[in-house]
Amino acid sequence: MDYLGGVVGSIFKMIFVIFAIGMVGYFLGAISVKGVSLGTAGVLLAALLYGIITSYVPTFHVGEKEIVLFSDTIKSNFSLVSSIGTAMFVTSVGFIAGPKFFRSFNRATMSYVYMGMITIGLGSLVTVIFVLLDKNLPAPLATGLMTGALTSTPGLSAAKEVAEEGADLVTAGYGIAYLFGVLGVVFFVQLMPRILKVNIAEERERFVAANIIPAGQIKRSLEKVDPFGFLPFFLAVTLGCVIGAIKIPGINFSLGNSGGCLIAGLVVGHFGHLGKIDLRIEKNTLNFFRELGLVLFLIGAGVPGGVNFIANVKISYFLYGALITLIPMIGSYFIGRYVFKLDIFNNLGSITGGMTSTPALGALITTAGTDEVAASYAATYPVALVFVVIAAKVIVVLL
């Protein structure tokens, strides 16, 4: 029995758990109901389920051997996995969008800036209304619900920073709303084209044709340091962490690693070289980094979220979180369509950026059949990131 306990204990290490969750998640994501599937977001569901299980059974014994499924140390390890995944994903998105992003940024694309502000504004407004209507809903918990519903980890960190004694309530609210926050946007970007009976193939053809922009001239005599593009990718992540760490005096705001890496990816992807060093990365390599980063992010964020989910969930809180997800999406969609005249893909792309939803962008790319939609996400995301952080702090402090 001791030998068996040792074997089981050796198996249940982080590397086993991460890959097992990924395996189960991809099985779940492959299940399609009338053409709608979770896709990579199935990994989130698997991670949450694992977290829920460990909330009930954090440890168990095989013989005299104690097997630890979840602890503060394991939680910090998952946080690291999530951070690495986020950096990989948003850096890849930056590289993909970079060559066209700045060249296409003109007066018309200001609509994406407004979309980011509108989406977060609607989410914040709904949150404030719930706090005013429900006297039993503490402002820190409501802010946690908002950051979870908008899937904003930087917003969560900002709210915890000013909440002081209410920091645990912020985390609890985030965990309650996060599941629907992710899955709601994933399903939204898949279902809207079906509800509107959009011909995906025709729309994709028009969309790609409208986004063809000359990539500019890059020196031909460039030297690649490595065949896979690891140097430029690691360079962008390193630069992104530096950018993300810069804080604006007075409001103590920073973009964090996610916002910093996105900007660094856009810049490095735009220029494509450093002197005579080739900083371009093959598309297939970027797609690999993007998918792997997304999976690691979902696993790292999902397991701790599952641990907090059952302990703090209430039907009313879950409903609040769901509405904070749905109302900004629906409102932003109609504003994007009828006010800014955005086509379906740019509209949905800007909504995924406004909701700061990494998994939803992956689902939209699959639905649209083109990663050109990453440009509108990249244009909207930084604005939404700034505003959700500010909104989180304001709600906690003033309410």
Number of Cβ within 10 Å of residue 186's Cβ equals: 28
Q: What's residue 64's pLDDT? A: 67
Give the pLDDT of residue 330: 94
* 201 residue type, one letter: A
pLDDT at position 2 is 57
Predicted confidence at residue 109, as pLDDT, reads: 72
pTM over 0.75: no
Residue pair 353/379 in contact (Cβ under 8 Å)? The answer is yes
Residue 311: the pLDDT is 65
Please say whether the beta carbons of 354 and 119 come within 8 A.
Answer: yes
- Which stretches of 77-230 are assigned E, i.e. beta strand? none
* Residues 47/306, Cβ–Cβ less than 8 Å: yes
Distance, in Å, from the CA atom of 388 to the CA atom of 119, rounded to the nearest integer, reads 9
Q: Express the helix, strand and coil content of the chain in percent, nearest 5 each.
A: 75, 5, 20
For residue 253, what pLDDT is reported?
64
Neighbours of 395 (CB within 10 A): 21
Two tokens, residue 10: 């050796």
Compute how many other C-beta atoms are within 10 angstroms of the C-beta atom of residue 277: 13
Q: What pLDDT is recorded for position 21? A: 92
Compute CA 241 distance to the chain's CA centroid, rounded to the nearest angstrom: 17
Q: Computed from CA positions of residues 47, 51, 57, 60, in that sequence, does the dihedral angle turn out positive or negative? A: positive
SS3 375: helix
Note the maximum CA span of the chain: 70
What is the identity of the amino acid at 51?
Answer: G
| Rounded Cα gap, residues 395 and 327, in angstroms | 18
Residue 269's region, left for phi above 0, alpha for psi from -120 to 50, else beta, is: alpha
Per-residue pLDDT, 96: 80
User: Which residues of the chain are under the pLDDT cut of 50?
Assistant: 215
Within 8 A by CB and 6+ apart from 114, the residues are 340
